[in-house]
Amino acid sequence: MNMIKMTELNITEKTLLIRSDLNVPIKNGIIQSHARILAALPTIEIAIKQNAKIIIMSHLGRPKEGHYEKKYSLLPIFEFLKKQLSHIKIYFSNNYLDGIQLKPKEIVILENVRFNLGELENNDELSKKYANLCDIFVMDAFGSAHRMQSSTYGVGKFAKIACAGPLLINEIKCLKKSLENPERPMTAIVGGAKVSTKFNVLHKLATIADTIIVGGGIANTFLAIDYNIGKSLYEPDFIAEAKKIRDTYNIIIPIDSRVGKNFSKTEESIIRLPFNINSDEEIMDFGDETIKKIIPILKMSKTIIWNGPVGVFEFPNFRQGTETIAKTISASNAFSIAGGGDTLSVIDMFNIKNNISYISTGGGAFLEFIEGKKLPSISMLEETYKKCN
């Protein structure tokens, strides 16, 4: 992949428009996970050291386009960054499309780009307004690289210079390392609610990985091939496809599960074998025998790709499977890559950030890259590179 890199440009006193991925979970105005913000900081710090004028833009959640909603405001993120960069003048702007004036080393955080009409449809007029804010557009949001929107794609077409930020470059480099020439044995863990959204990923990983461990609603669909799994979340329309994958590849499916009758934080867990699950029970985590089975697999692995929790980790009685995976990977010497919003929350919960080789900020982009899809923002940066060379 040939792209202009921010680190190769002279950015001194230039106005940089950095598209970061600051789409973090916020509850009652309090940020629940700072992982994506902290991942974006090194790029900002490079720009500060080189006396650039810095504009940072991001989306947050899924507000109705063109309408301000307080719960989707980037103000809490601005307040957090202000503390992290206390030695720098940092501003917040919700009225920026007609231009911004900054001095070198000053930073402005723009309000949620999804409040702007035309953002989602990649509107040319909006893209041009973004491009007019800067000398250089820096695409550094791997987590949004699969979106063909004004702030991720369109702006790059109209900017004087469009380049890739260090975080984006690093994400691509680490993912390519794990997918193209992994050290073996390689294990992939694929969790989450819907198997239908991850069939392509499962197929792709199955051709690369030595073992795939499935959890969550995805595992339930595999279990439903042979068993009645009560009121567990699964997708009956995809059972036949799940059977094909199971019969073709080395897929580790739970041999026992923690179940409960109510989806509640206080629900007690009961361990059941697949053929003993009652009609009023739902699977919410791995059972002890399944956990015992996967520990040696993970310990032997030299490369691990992890996307998604394997149970309802938010509930204390149903987090054992996810916690075991997190802590076993943390203690491993394998090259490990973890990605996806819920996975980032798990990493924060168990405080294992420093023991994962690489934490991808991407969710959908992470999965699409693994599938082998061309991400629109990366295509745009490659086209920009061709025009300049």
Told to judge if 49 belongs to the known catalytic residues of this protein, a careful annotator would answer: no
The pLDDT value recorded for residue 33 is 85
Q: Do both 199 and 159 map to the same domain?
A: no
Catalytic residue among 287, 341, 362, 363: 341
Domain that holds residue 293: 184-333
Q: Per the residue annotation, which of 157, 177, 194, 261 is the catalytic one?
A: 194
Report the CATH number that the domain containing residue 300 is assigned in CATH. 3.40.50.1260
Both 36 and 155 in one domain: the answer is yes
Instruction: Give the model's pLDDT for residue 314.
Output: 93
Same domain, 49 and 148: yes
- Same domain membership, residue 11 and residue 54: yes
Clarify whether residues 195 and 301 are in a common domain. yes
* Residue at 177 is within a domain: no
DSSP string, 343-365: HHHHHHHTT-GGGSSEEE--SHH
Is 113 in the same domain as 197? Answer: no
Verify that 106 and 68 share a domain, yes or no.
yes
* Token pair of 210 as six digits: 């030595």
Same-domain pairing of 157 and 191: no
User: Is 338 contained in some domain?
Assistant: no
Q: Are residues 300 and 381 in the same domain?
A: no
Has 184 been annotated as catalytic? no
pLDDT digits (tens, 9 = 90+) for 350-377: 999 899 998 887 777 888 888 888 899 9
Q: Is residue 378 part of a domain?
A: yes
Q: Was 140 annotated as part of a binding site?
A: no
147 is known to lie in a ligand binding site? yes
Residues 35 and 117 in one domain: yes
**Res 341: pLDDT:** 67
Predicted confidence at residue 91, as pLDDT, reads 97
Tell me the whole-structure pTM to 2 decimals.
0.82
Q: Is residue 317 part of a domain?
A: yes
Please indicate, yes or no, whether residues 160 and 113 belong to a single structural domain of this protein: yes
Pick the closest to residue 215 from 362, 342, 332, 330 (CA basis).
342
Residues of the chain falling short of pLDDT 70:
341
Please count the structural domains in the chain.
Answer: 2
105 is catalytic: no
- 62 annotated as belonging to a binding site for a ligand: yes
Catalytic site residue from 128, 261, 327, 364? 364
Exposure of 17 by Cβ count < 10 A (0-12 exposed, 13-18 middle, 19+ buried)?
Answer: buried
> How many C-beta neighbours within 10 Å does residue 264 have?
11
Q: What is the pLDDT of residues 314-339, one digit of tens each?
A: 999 999 999 999 999 999 999 999 98
Dig out the tokens for 268 from the structure: 């007690």
Looking at residue 299, what is its pLDDT?
Answer: 97
Taking 3-state DSSP, the helix, strand and coil percentages for the chain, each rounded to the nearest 5, stand at 45, 15, 40
Q: Does 175 reside within a domain? A: no
Burial class of residue 233, CB neighbours in 10 A (0-12, 13-18, 19+): middle
Catalytic residue among 14, 36, 129, 246: 36
